Structure 1
């Protein structure tokens, strides 16, 4: 959407302050500006037009705020003092008014026959060469709010920001906008009413121009336009600065990038002394049973130097840090002091596990040397007891170690390909498992699929490593009432299809359910094939992956007949499914075999094969390589398309 800043044009008021109000000294205004600088810059950033781009909005917001300091004493704006908060300070009210006025002027279009105003020009200071600076990304809610605000005029955004940041009532918002030169403050308030009052989101990193991340500008354009001498001089200057830095290995901030300006909340989040530590027995009495009640474990939970490095690298990972994250997981720094789950030495690494209510973050550094730090993110919002049973601590030499929940009584390893093979116990030491073979690190073919079995007071559960920080939970049965995959019948269901889990690696999978939805007689044979649907739910709530698989008694593995993504099939909301496969009988004849789930009354094939059948199964002669479109009719009269 294009910004509507032209709809309301702030005019330059003849008198922006009342002569009867209190007089503000330059020193008083400077003190207010310094004290509330992050809030003022955030306000300017929100009011500035989105068409400027995030990088220019950041620099312009800082420039407008720094220019808000008056050159001499000035009368305070006509705004009734609040009982508390920054609005009760006349100095703050004055500089806030200047920031809002300048930000509104910056959104006005340039005119041919008029000199541009200072706020409409790119700021001379601050200036950054060769980098684009922009706030760290927030979550989906912050992105949606940013899109809604971009559709408002500058005055509408100013009204929303004054309500949200300073908690001003509408009467005071009208006065501020009027003093800033807005012709119709009531229209601006009406615009702000069209956006949900999610004011808490305004405090996130998405709208914080004081907590930034950097990216390079257009490198090819710089190469074409910069002179060789200037580039060489800049390179020499940078090299000189790097050579002057002390090489202290794992110093205070370790592999973190150089620090930047931070607000007090961000600084508090990086203080290891403020980390949240939960009592070892909290989970026994808590109404919640998830990561929030995990105690801090490990031999290094009091190593403040290690914890400081982990927090610093999380906030600003350096170029040498290897960063990974599951799809849909934000990688920004912590918004407040996170919870410590583990700090200790595993294999040849020092590992720290942190939790901020939305994400599990794993920091690892080698025990010796000053290189090779790694930072991994995994989204775990909404995790319950079943999904918060374990976190990956390390992967080494084809093996994986887990940190288990405090309520886990027993851990074991079993081969999902061998349902009758039993469970091999794994030693638990302070919640850390002995190493077990990881199927994701295997180099040879899929002859086995090792999974982790955890037993607690409510039963046994199976978790599988899919190459991510949090293992995926395995279940089996109808989508409306799946059972744990550790049960004997579920193990037999999973056995032919275990290796298909390899198709779900690194997809942010939360859980995978296997459902044998049909058994179909095979033509020219006395055997019966099984149709199975596996549905992988993701942590982000979208992008679920569905596989329809076909297995005959003579085959070792199930064959993937169809797959789809972001569809409701095989899920609790819409369990119906339809899939087909070309199959060669023992006599050498080719057939189209198709089957639907319960509630299917007829199946039809069109295109390369024309056939239909009453009931939930279709068997039709076909030729090798033929293709067909499948459709079905359900008991309620709805139609169903086949998975492809």
Structure 2
């Protein structure tokens, strides 16, 4: 058991250690709450069940805030690597590497998660972490993370065989990207008696750290399912029946003539809804003719013909419709943010029904959503139902749908107007595209993007050619791939040209941060170029903005790329802001940059319409124009303000 692996809490650090006040710890907890909850979820014992692990992880993280000023662990380990970026560049908003507030709350979360796995004993009294959380609580529902693929499931099963300290060691290595010496120090500070043993035990599992960022281990992105339905039905059956009878009797007594009239606006109790019944009938599915799109004024999913070898399999189509209307407890259901998962209001349109690798797949469209039902070819156990919102799709947005993912490869169903498909590496703009075979609109397998953290060496995208030109689409883990564009907001161009490909090359790996966010398109805009202080060339400032299908929730990254660097560095990021959009194509961001001589500078840049830039706080400086270069000490805080040529003020993106 884990009781032998967790020692008493270490003595408090010396008075010389840096003291963290409550406000600093709270800021770190709020900023990095999803990562801290994911860390707690990974450390908690899988035996307690996914729903209880989710609630316990949130409860432990929320209780990690100290009651007063506290000292962090004597050593605050820095992360090893992190996101690919140019050497010597740090984000102004960096909040983990060297942040004592984050080190303190992370240590407290880790300590409480390890305590929660200890066996309960009457003497001494159980710790609060060992008891079920009082809050948060959810009644009548089970909450659990969205299911990942076979690799994530296998990793979760292997982690369940480890002790709590070993799971903590694996999470600190993979999620926090700490070196073994740093992991050993954090575990010791958390009360683990045998940190070396925990590291050795964790080393028995292969390094699949990229899977830790999967929705399988994300307790902040959840699915809800009902629980104890039968018990509640038995307890409330008599009361509900009596209540319904009383209401019906009262309504009948109040009606003229003492009953329901044929022209009443409200249907009698238990009346069937013809539209809802028709939605479950496979014979009533909408099927578009193969040539219908050629004469239609629309070019979206509504003109896609029904394709695939199983479009006549009524039993399969009936199961797909029934599962859509009432998914069972064993069906894995996922949906992009902002997408309703209820049944169709009427008969949907059939886009595809056929065999895809080792599964039978049905793709349906109801005017608002794409629904994908998949089941194994040898039965229905392990069926999955996925939704994606696609309202307002145009020709580019309705170019392709994901049919299935197997062994890191993706198959797409393309629009009927697509003439040619290809695969190209976004990080190798000069390598050209490799042709992909098309059979009834279904592509040959396309290698998915490389999602390993810190080891992103390629990012494969789908290139489609139709009557209007070429466009690039990238798989972000959802049903509908995202479109890639470049250029000034309001007039973007397809990212398939040579110059556009060179623009995207250093920023391809940053697309991994947009997975499972319902992204419709991503635009990369080079908003400025800045000469470097050591005369080593000019750095490019690029703003990447991801628009979503639901309209809100757009994500903006300001990125910085130095000459010769393979990757761009994220200088600032924000969500739900108008920056870099057609409505407000203005942006201001800054980074700390280290020259080859070892000197640190604050570099800031705004869009071309910026008249002046000013830095305040730990660094003071100003400059006319859209660029600012100020010598500075590393790690001090700075606030950026800009003034546009029309006199309007803009703040730094963060």
For Structure 1 versus Structure 2, the TM-score category normalised by the shorter chain is 0.5 to 0.7
Q: Which has the higher contact order (CA 8 A, sep 6+)?
A: 2
Alignment of 1:447 with 2:457, yes or no, is: yes
Alignment of 1:379 with 2:561, yes or no, is: no
SS of the aligned residue for 1:572 comes to coil
Q: CA deviation at 1:444?
A: 8.1
Paired with 1:508 and 1:64, the residues of 2 have a C-alpha distance of 46
Relative to structure 1, is the Cα distance of residues 411 and 74 closer, same or farther in structure 2, using a 3 angstrom cutoff? Answer: closer
TM-superposition CA deviations, 1:231-290 (whole Å, max 9, x none)? xxxxxxxxxxxxxxxxxxxxxxxxxxxxxx952221110000000000111110100000
Query: Counterparts in 2 of 1:27-176, with a 5 A limit?
Result: 62-63=244-245, 66-67=248-249, 70=252, 76=257, 91-92=261-262
Contact 2:354 2:361 in 1 (8 A): yes
Relative to structure 1, is the Cα distance of residues 543 and 64 closer, same or farther in structure 2, using a 3 angstrom cutoff? Answer: farther
Alignment of 1:602 with 2:612, yes or no, is: yes
Q: CA deviation at 1:441?
A: 6.2
Contact 1:58 1:209 in 2 (8 A): no
Q: CA deviation at 1:66?
A: 3.3
Q: Bigger radius of gyration, 1 or 2?
A: 1
SS of the aligned residue for 1:91 comes to coil
Alignment of 1:400 with 2:420, yes or no, is: no
Relative to structure 1, is the Cα distance of residues 58 and 610 closer, same or farther in structure 2, using a 3 angstrom cutoff? Answer: farther
SS of the aligned residue for 2:523 comes to strand
Q: Which of 362, 365, 372 is 2:375 aligned to? A: 365
Alignment of 1:547 with 2:557, yes or no, is: yes
Q: CA deviation at 1:331?
A: 0.2
Paired with 2:559 and 2:238, the residues of 1 have a C-alpha distance of 52
Alignment of 1:461 with 2:471, yes or no, is: yes
Q: CA deviation at 1:430?
A: 0.4
Alignment of 1:323 with 2:493, yes or no, is: no
Paired with 2:459 and 2:281, the residues of 1 have a C-alpha distance of 42
For structure 1, which segment, 634-643 or 263-272, has the greater mean C-alpha deviation from structure 2 after superposition? Answer: 263-272
Q: CA deviation at 1:598?
A: 1.6
Alignment of 1:391 with 2:401, yes or no, is: yes
Contact 1:525 1:586 in 2 (8 A): no
* TM-score, structure 1 as length reference: 0.62
Q: CA deviation at 1:409?
A: 0.1
SS of the aligned residue for 1:495 comes to helix
Relative to structure 1, is the Cα distance of residues 384 and 62 closer, same or farther in structure 2, using a 3 angstrom cutoff? Answer: farther
Relative to structure 1, is the Cα distance of residues 63 and 635 closer, same or farther in structure 2, using a 3 angstrom cutoff? Answer: farther
Query: Counterparts in 2 of 1:330-369, with a 5 A limit?
Result: 330-369=340-379
Relative to structure 1, is the Cα distance of residues 503 and 580 closer, same or farther in structure 2, using a 3 angstrom cutoff? Answer: same
TM-superposition CA deviations, 1:127-175 (whole Å, max 9, x none)? xxxxxxxxxxxxxxxxxxxxxxxxxxxxxxxxxxx7xx79xxxxxxxxx
Query: Counterparts in 2 of 1:515-530, with a 5 A limit?
Result: 515-530=525-540
**1:476 aligned partner:** 486
SS of the aligned residue for 1:548 comes to strand
SS of the aligned residue for 1:67 comes to helix
Alignment of 1:293 with 2:474, yes or no, is: no
Paired with 1:465 and 1:433, the residues of 2 have a C-alpha distance of 14
Query: Counterparts in 2 of 1:276-315, with a 5 A limit?
Result: 276-315=286-325
Paired with 1:617 and 1:586, the residues of 2 have a C-alpha distance of 21
Alignment of 1:421 with 2:421, yes or no, is: no
Relative to structure 1, is the Cα distance of residues 65 and 291 closer, same or farther in structure 2, using a 3 angstrom cutoff? Answer: farther
Paired with 1:442 and 1:457, the residues of 2 have a C-alpha distance of 36
TM-superposition CA deviations, 1:19-72 (whole Å, max 9, x none)? xxxxxxxxxxxxxxxxxxxxxxxxxxxxxxxxxxxx99998995466325758x
**1:144 aligned partner:** none
Paired with 2:341 and 2:443, the residues of 1 have a C-alpha distance of 28
Q: CA deviation at 1:442?
A: 5.7
Contact 2:450 2:457 in 1 (8 A): no
**2:599 aligned partner:** 589
**2:635 aligned partner:** 625
Q: Which of 436, 443, 450 is 1:433 aligned to? A: 443
Contact 1:440 1:467 in 2 (8 A): no
SS of the aligned residue for 2:533 comes to coil
Contact 1:398 1:442 in 2 (8 A): no
Relative to structure 1, is the Cα distance of residues 90 and 419 closer, same or farther in structure 2, using a 3 angstrom cutoff? Answer: closer
* TM-score, structure 2 as length reference: 0.61
Relative to structure 1, is the Cα distance of residues 582 and 442 closer, same or farther in structure 2, using a 3 angstrom cutoff? Answer: closer
Alignment of 1:637 with 2:647, yes or no, is: yes
Q: Which of 468, 481, 487 is 2:497 aligned to? A: 487
Contact 2:252 2:260 in 1 (8 A): no
- How many residues align? The count is 418
Paired with 1:57 and 1:376, the residues of 2 have a C-alpha distance of 37
Structure 2: stretches of 5+ with no match in the other structure: 1-236
SS of the aligned residue for 1:365 comes to strand
Relative to structure 1, is the Cα distance of residues 603 and 64 closer, same or farther in structure 2, using a 3 angstrom cutoff? Answer: farther
TM-superposition CA deviations, 1:300-337 (whole Å, max 9, x none)? 00000000000000000000000000000000000000
SS of the aligned residue for 2:298 comes to coil
Q: CA deviation at 1:76?
A: 3.0
Contact 1:525 1:585 in 2 (8 A): no
**1:566 aligned partner:** 576
Alignment of 1:613 with 2:623, yes or no, is: yes
Q: CA deviation at 1:369?
A: 3.0
Relative to structure 1, is the Cα distance of residues 56 and 579 closer, same or farther in structure 2, using a 3 angstrom cutoff? Answer: farther
Structure 1: stretches of 5+ with no match in the other structure: 1-54, 78-88, 97-161, 167-207, 211-260
**2:422 aligned partner:** 412
TM-superposition CA deviations, 1:482-529 (whole Å, max 9, x none)? 100001110000000000000100000000000011000000123110
TM-superposition CA deviations, 1:453-481 (whole Å, max 9, x none)? 00000000000000000000000010021
Q: CA deviation at 1:639?
A: 0.2
Contact 2:451 2:512 in 1 (8 A): no
SS of the aligned residue for 1:76 comes to helix
